[in-house]
Structure 1
């Protein structure tokens, strides 16, 4: 009888030691590595007027080449004229690279975004190219639609402007934020919405739906032109804003 009791105690002790050993191994195991979406935007610094320019985005997720991005688009405009921007879809070369070709018909400095959506993340590196003599466009920055008042180096903001907005219909408002070519997370984003001459300003809080993507919705009760000011702050002292204009119809 005593022998059975001792055998039972030994089995219990061995079981406890085994469990502790497994627990230590699990504790010592390395945490799963967190990957980020990386987009390397390849663009020449200079081109001639009417020269074909290759736009190339190399997309990766950790060490993996992303061959199945949901969307890659290049958005470009002459410096100071973002409201006249054009967007072209990139060709998927099935090797993690996405390309498109574009020409510029006059001298100037052009800004280009490489909008990339993959792995439930959005990245939008921006570069500029000088065409011909690179004559800078002159404009009144204080009244330029889409003008970004940015004092933070490496910060960029892209607002998904709705194609059409109807009166009393809820419209999605989405903005993508980046800092140093990486999604800006945990920011505070508010939309200030008003019509010229009106004392009423609506404030709409946006939520971070995805990493670096902030969304909300708003219903416009009157027709006409509205100004939307996108305010962005965070706990590190960042404070940026951008103005957009939209037209509301019946």
Structure 2
């Protein structure tokens, strides 16, 4: 009888231990899931002013909740002069201290510039933006625009709207290439937009191809494209949304054999 009671007690202890272990696993899984749902946050630091030809330091502190994000996939700064988004340039960053990604930038002439940092980390993407005035800033820019206003149309775009086309690498003929676009309105992802790619290969506009992208995450739109011809493709991203939003940007990629 004692042996029987001992066996039953042992079995109950084993069941309790298994249940506790399972509860611990469930708790850990739940905690991990909760952490992953916390959005990443970026504190972008850009000086308000600077001088042409001098180095300007840019900084982005990336966090998730109270945690410093030291494993960001990509942190890159995009810079352009007011009204000239199509002439933007990119600057790579380096992580100087835990979760802080820095870069140096130079501006070759006076004007008002936009600095936008593109941060991809932990399956999320955000792209806050700030302005910097170089030298005489807007005054110099206004003079330049006045001189060229008869020959050039300036597109100012929707206030607070941001677009980032992730240019695919190593695009080859007859191999699917993933196209990805991130959209943001203010500090939030732009959801439920209509995003289409107009693709023209080797300037053959009469053979333009249209591809609809799908939103697989908040503000992230993707789709695959297969090119049948090597050469140069001009990809225009068209975005339409609520309240008359209609924006577009054109990017150029190379297709190899």
Task: Determine if the TM-score, normalized by the shorter chain, exceeds 0.5.
Answer: yes
Q: Give the match's secondary structure for 2:205.
A: coil
When you count helix as a share of all residues, which structure comes out higher?
Answer: 2
Q: Give the match's secondary structure for 1:199.
A: helix
* Structure 2 residue aligned with 1:5: none
Q: Give the match's secondary structure for 2:213.
A: strand
- Superimposed CA distance per residue, residues 94-121 of structure 1 (whole angstroms, 9 cap, x where no aligned partner): 1x43222333343333332211112311
Task: Give the CA RMSD over aligned residues.
Answer: 3.0
Instruction: Please state how far the C-alpha of 1:159 moved relative to its aligned partner.
Output: 0.8
Change (3 A) 1:240 1:102: closer
| Worse-matched range after superposition: 154-163 or 216-225 | 216-225
Q: Name the CA distance, whole Å, in 2 between partners of 1:208 and 1:150.
A: 26
- Contact kept, 8 Å, 1:169 with 1:219, in 2: the verdict is yes
* Structure 2 residue aligned with 1:104: 107
Q: Name the CA distance, whole Å, in 2 between partners of 1:176 and 1:132.
A: 32
* Structure 1 residue aligned with 2:94: 90
* Structure 2 residue aligned with 1:231: 238
* Structure 1 residue aligned with 2:191: 185
- Superimposed CA distance per residue, residues 27-85 of structure 1 (whole angstroms, 9 cap, x where no aligned partner): xxxxx796332212111121012333221112233454434333322233445264461
Select the residue among 46, 49, 52 that pairs with 1:49.
Answer: 52
* Structure 2 residue aligned with 1:156: 162
Q: Name the CA distance, whole Å, in 1 between partners of 2:67 and 2:85.
A: 36
Change (3 A) 1:131 1:201: same
Change (3 A) 1:152 1:72: same
Change (3 A) 1:54 1:187: same
Q: Name the CA distance, whole Å, in 2 between partners of 1:199 and 1:52.
A: 45
Instruction: Please state how far the C-alpha of 1:191 moved relative to its aligned partner.
Output: 1.0
Q: Name the CA distance, whole Å, in 1 between partners of 2:41 and 2:85.
A: 28
Q: How does 1:157-176 map to 2 (within 5 A)?
A: 157-176=163-182
Provide structure 2 residue ranges, at least 5 long, that are not aligned to the other structure: 1-33
Q: Name the CA distance, whole Å, in 2 between partners of 1:58 and 1:48.
A: 24
* Structure 2 residue aligned with 1:222: 229
TM score, norm. by length of structure 2: 0.69
Select the residue among 75, 79, 93 that pairs with 2:78.
Answer: 75
Higher-RCO chain (CA-CA 8 Å, sequence separation at least 6): 1
| Worse-matched range after superposition: 129-138 or 115-124 | 129-138
Provide structure 1 residue ranges, at least 5 long, that are not aligned to the other structure: 1-31
- Superimposed CA distance per residue, residues 106-155 of structure 1 (whole angstroms, 9 cap, x where no aligned partner): 3333332211112311011122322223333667766xxxx9x6643211
